[in-house]
Amino acid sequence: MTENLLNSLLITGIGMGITFSAIVILWWMMAGLTALPDREEETVQQQPAAAMDDSKARAAAAAVALALAEQELSSARPLPPPPTAIVSAWQLGTRSRQMYEKGRRRK
């Protein structure tokens, strides 16, 4: 019995050690990645401000034109509301049973 207990404790300890070491390694990796400088910010800062404003304006105009063209070609229309549902026999039986149980007095 003592041997089985020692083996189970050893296996549990190894498993917990692997789990916590993996968590710590992932924590260090995330901290390292967040500490790195963003390369996008460096490239954006290197571009002149006038060129950046012009490219953003062109991109916005293209997006609006594309959205308007797509809206005209779309065949999507609002759907009418569905007709009122007819209560099935299953629902009627369940509701009747619930009403009967609520109306019964408990002693």
Q: What CA–CA distances, in Å, run from 45 to 34, 40, 54, 57, 60?
A: 20, 9, 15, 18, 20
Arithmetic mean of pLDDT over the chain: 84
Query: Rounded to two decimals, what is the model's pTM?
Result: 0.36
**pLDDT at site 103:** 77
Provide CB contacts within 8 A for 87, sequence distance 6+.
Answer: 95
What tens digit of pLDDT does each residue of 30-78 get? 999 998 887 766 665 666 666 667 888 899 999 999 998 888 887 777 7
